[in-house]
């Protein structure tokens, strides 16, 4: 088992390395140099001294090795456009807001979604099933950039129930509401279909024949199987929390990481993009590792396969 | 002991006599079509989709406004009316025509993206399944690594690096890792089929491998590919809308539903229809494709039959 986990860790390290390298070389494939991209008419000498100061005059492979060495020593890099802003500080400053809103949205969205999916599958064909399916279909088809301004307009201007700004905790309600629509719809749809898959299996018939109670069949025989694929989905969603949502953060003017990331891209602040990319990929890779380990603990089939 | 042909005689009713009783043979395609036709929701989705496509293609001709319209200062931000069905935008262009023009780009990106990912993914997945063994293992590990690259980051990076925001670049960026899930699906489906009894029977009858691939593996994978394609198209339209909304997608003078929605967002409280029409088109297209995909999956996969 330890061997399996070690193997997964090595594999994740490889993924992180590949992603970092690909991002690095992609960014360095951009024609022209970053200094000229920021300031057009700089005197040639100044430009050269800037290039030398940042090490841009060296060959790409040397820059790459230097970058990797810095990364391994825990230095994520710093902003080119705003000297003094370090990527680590940016993450520390902007990710808590994204994480707070994202975690609340995921808890509510995935929780409600799973509950709705189970209810819909158990009451298949009745009106509650129809209602859940129609609503979740709408949830997956309407883009966030429509839901967010609509909700904002409806609940802060038309019926001023929530404040547009403020720090008393109510500011979170609307962003969380917008962000939980997606997970709610996805998980409801997903769980309904995976529950319906499970229903037709022979072991459910066996359980019924044995005289197992209806409640116990649902919790012990159906859910245990239907929820397994959700573990992977949930872990990936958790990684997405830190990345934040650009749209929701910009509509509700939240100082989150999603907004910062997109603005760094339009600012052409490449080192911040690179650094944030490493951090977000790292979180993503860790979440996949977590899901692998969880699945191994939860799914006896994987456990026996690992032992072999 | 020697057998002669005369030793093998069919007992009971003759084959030709049986055929007289049997109904017309139901082929897989006809069976699927019958199932699809009886699914009213899927049929409605297909009709809605057809209507949307017709609107996008012929809309500008009907509305009477040219696609490449110049600004008209007197007609800025008009509400929907008989002259301008969807109103006008912030520089006086007819929004109905703009939505149709944007729809062409959005739908084209969706279709092209799906076509590329399906083609590349099927080839790759099919090849992995056919080669098997170490080659298959290596190929699938590569897919694992590629699909671990956060999708959105890659798309954004590629469009920044290539530094052209033409629809072609966008499609390239969106499909760069987009084919990975398709490759996985196709491979697992092919592996499953190649382990099935009828392939074993074909192998025992000494049918050449190429013929098995053409006769059994590819036709049986087509349904999975088709369903995957139906779900990929709206996915690409959605991604394009997000990128255009962020400002990294389609650039003026070209437009798309996402770009139109982005342009309208700032003045949403005053001219809500400018946002609602393109966004409604995105939602309708998404809805139609999702329902169509559900219907196709039910029709093409007899195992999931209700």
Give pLDDT tens digits for A123-165: 887 888 888 888 888 888 888 878 888 888 777 777 777 776 6
Q: How confident is the model over A228-282, as pLDDT tens digits?
A: 878 888 888 887 787 777 788 888 878 888 888 888 877 777 788 888 888 888 8
Tokens 């949502």, located at residue: A245
* Bridge partners, B129 (sequence order): none
Residue B176, C-beta contacts closer than 8 angstroms, at least 6 positions apart: B154, B155, B158
Nearest CA in chain A to B162: A30
Nearest CA in chain B to A147: B279
Residues in B closer than 8 angstroms to A279, CB to CB, are none
The share of chain A scoring above pLDDT 70, in percent, equals: 95
Question: What's the distance, CA B274 to chain centroid?
Answer: 28
Q: Using CB atoms within 10 A of its CB, is residue A232 exposed (0-12), middle (13-18) or buried (19+)?
A: middle
For an interface test with B, give the residue of A146, A160, A189 to mutate (most B CBs within 10 A).
Answer: A146
Answer yes or no: do B157 and A26 touch at CB < 8 A: yes
Digits of tens for pLDDT over chain B (306 positions)?
678 887 787 776 666 655 555 666 677 777 778 877 777 888 888 888 898 888 878 877 776 666 666 666 666 666 666 666 666 676 667 777 787 878 888 888 888 989 999 888 888 888 888 787 888 888 888 888 787 776 767 777 777 777 666 778 888 888 888 888 888 888 888 888 888 888 888 888 888 888 888 888 887 888 888 888 888 888 888 888 888 887 777 777 778 888 887 777 777 777 777 778 888 888 888 888 888 888 888 777 766 544
Residue A121, C-beta contacts closer than 8 angstroms, at least 6 positions apart: A129, A191, A192, A195, A196, A199
Nearest CA in chain B to A262: B246
The interface predicted TM-score of the complex, written ipTM, equals: 0.74
Instruction: Give the pTM.
Output: 0.78
pLDDT of residue B90: 67
pLDDT of residue B116: 92
Question: Distance between CA atoms of B126 and B233, rounded to whole angstroms?
Answer: 21
Residue B218, C-beta contacts closer than 8 angstroms, at least 6 positions apart: B126
Answer yes or no: do A26 and B275 touch at CB < 8 A: no
> What stretches of B64-132 show up as alpha helix (H) in DSSP?
95-131
Smallest Cα distance from A304 to chain B, Å: 20
Q: Using CB atoms within 10 A of its CB, is residue B155 exposed (0-12), middle (13-18) or buried (19+)?
A: buried
Question: Distance between CA atoms of B171 and A131, rounded to whole angstroms?
Answer: 36
pLDDT of residue A31: 67
For an interface test with A, give the residue of B150, B263, B280, B298 to mutate (most A CBs within 10 A).
Answer: B150
Tokens 């009713």, located at residue: B13
In angstroms, what CA-CA distances link A192 with B112, B149, B234? 31, 29, 21
């Amino acid at each position: 088992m330890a061997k399996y986990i070690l193997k997964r860790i090595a594999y994740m390290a490889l993924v992180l390395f590949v992603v970092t390298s690909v991002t690095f070389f992609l960014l360095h494939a951009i024609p022209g140099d970053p200094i000229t991209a920021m300031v057009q008419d700089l005197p040639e000498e100044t430009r050269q001294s800037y290039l030398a100061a940042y090490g841009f005059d060296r060959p790409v492979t040397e820059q790459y090795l230097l970058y990797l060495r810095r990364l391994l020593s825990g230095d994520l890099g710093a902003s080119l456009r705003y000297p003094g802003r370090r990527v680590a500080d940016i993450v520390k400053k902007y990710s808590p807001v994204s994480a707070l809103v994202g975690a609340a949205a995921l808890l509510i969205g995935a929780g409600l979604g799973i509950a709705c999916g189970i209810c819909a599958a158990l009451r298949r064909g009745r009106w509650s099933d129809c209602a859940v399916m129609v609503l979740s279909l709408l949830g997956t088809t309407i883009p966030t950039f429509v839901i967010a301004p609509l909700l904002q307009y409806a609940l802060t201007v038309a019926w001023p129930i929530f404040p547009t700004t403020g720090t008393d905790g109510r500011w979170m309600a609307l962003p969380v509401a917008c962000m939980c629509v997606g997970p709610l719809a996805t998980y409801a749809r997903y769980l309904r279909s995976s529950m319906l898959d499970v229903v037709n299996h022979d072991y459910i018939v066996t359980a019924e024949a044995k005289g197992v109670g209806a409640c116990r069949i649902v919790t012990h025989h159906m859910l245990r199987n239907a929820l397994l694929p959700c573990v992977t989905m949930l872990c990936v969603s958790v990684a997405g929390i830190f990345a934040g949502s650009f749209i929701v953060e910009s509509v509700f003017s939240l100082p989150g990481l999603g907004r910062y990331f997109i603005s760094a891209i339009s600012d052409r602040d490449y080192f911040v993009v690179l650094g944030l990319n490493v951090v977000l990929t790292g979180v993503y890779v860790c979440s996949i590792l977590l899901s692998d380990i969880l699945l191994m603990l939860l799914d006896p089939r994987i456990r026996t396969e690992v032992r072999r | 002991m020697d057998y002669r042909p005369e030793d093998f005689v069919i007992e009971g009713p003759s084959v030709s006599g049986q055929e007289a009783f049997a109904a017309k043979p139901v082929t897989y395609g006809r069976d699927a079509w019958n199932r699809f036709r009886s699914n009213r929701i899927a049929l409605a989705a297909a009709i809605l989709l057809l209507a949307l496509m017709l609107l996008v293609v012929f809309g500008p001709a009907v509305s009477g406004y040219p696609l490449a319209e110049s600004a008209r200062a007197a007609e800025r931000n008009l509400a929907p009316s008989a002259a301008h069905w969807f109103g006008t935008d912030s520089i006086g262009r007819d929004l109905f025509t703009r939505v149709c023009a944007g729809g062409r780009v959005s739908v084209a990106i969706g279709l092209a993206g799906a076509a590329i990912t399906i083609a590349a993914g099927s080839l790759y997945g099919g090849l992995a399944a056919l080669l098997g063994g170490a080659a298959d293992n290596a190929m699938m590990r590569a897919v694992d690594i590629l699909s671990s690259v956060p999708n959105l980051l890659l798309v954004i990076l590629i469009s920044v690096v290539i530094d052209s925001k033409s629809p072609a670049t966008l499609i390239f960026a969106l499909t760069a890792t987009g084919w990975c899930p398709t490759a996985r699906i196709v491979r697992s489906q092919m592996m499953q089929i190649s382990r099935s009894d009828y392939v074993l029977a074909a192998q025992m009858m000494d049918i050449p491998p190429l013929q098995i691939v053409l006769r059994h593996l590819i036709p049986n994978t087509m349904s999975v590919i088709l369903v995957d394609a139906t779900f990929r198209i709206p996915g690409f339209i959605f991604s394009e809308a997000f990128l255009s909304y962020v400002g990294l997608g389609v650039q003026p003078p070209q437009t798309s539903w996402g770009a139109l929605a982005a342009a309208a967002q700032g003045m949403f409280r005053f001219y809500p229809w400018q946002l609602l029409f393109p966004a409604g088109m995105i939602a309708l297209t998404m809805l139609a494709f999702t329902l169509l995909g559900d219907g196709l999956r039910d029709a093409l996969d007899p195992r999931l039959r209700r």
